[in-house]
Amino acid sequence: MAIKKRPNVLEEVRQATLIGRLIPSPHAQQQMEKRNIQMSDIEEAISRARLEKKKDSLTEDKKEWKYALRGKNDEGDKDLRIIIIFDDPSAIIVTAIDKNRKED
């Protein structure tokens, strides 16, 4: 059976952010530290994010969707792609990538 995508991803992520339920996974925390991305950068980017539906994918176990959001922080110096999964009522950050920076 195909897993249906959520119809209101941006609203749900923004709501999770407002209620303090936007949570970075351990992997995301490592990547954010390595990439110099702060939670405030992610929250700012989410406030003006758009969906990158072509970058959405199923989790390895094929039970959930991973959603790709793209937005800039307030200063505009970080163009973030944020990968989110849901664990209601939380939104879990899987990883965050600054598309303005080259990876090592």
> Over the stretch 15-68, which tens digit does the pLDDT of each residue have?
999 999 999 999 999 999 999 999 999 999 999 999 999 999 999 999 999 999
On whether the CB atoms of residues 69 and 53 are closer than 8 A, the answer is no
Residue 42, pLDDT score: 97
Predicted confidence at residue 104, as pLDDT, reads 57
- For position 1, what pLDDT does the model report? 64
Enter the tokens of residue 90.
Answer: 């939380």
Helix (H, G, I), strand (E, B) or coil at 32: helix
Q: Is the pLDDT of residue 5 over 90?
A: yes
pLDDT for res 24 = 97
At position 100, the amino acid (one-letter code) is: N
| Contact present, 6 and 65 (Cβ < 8 Å) | yes
In the chain the domains, ranked by start, together with CATH numbers, are: 9-98 (3.30.2310)
Alpha-carbon gap, residue 20 to 9, rounded angstroms: 16
Q: Report the first-to-last Cα separation within the chain, whole angstroms.
A: 39
Task: Give the separation between CA 34 and CA 63, rounded to whole angstroms.
Answer: 29
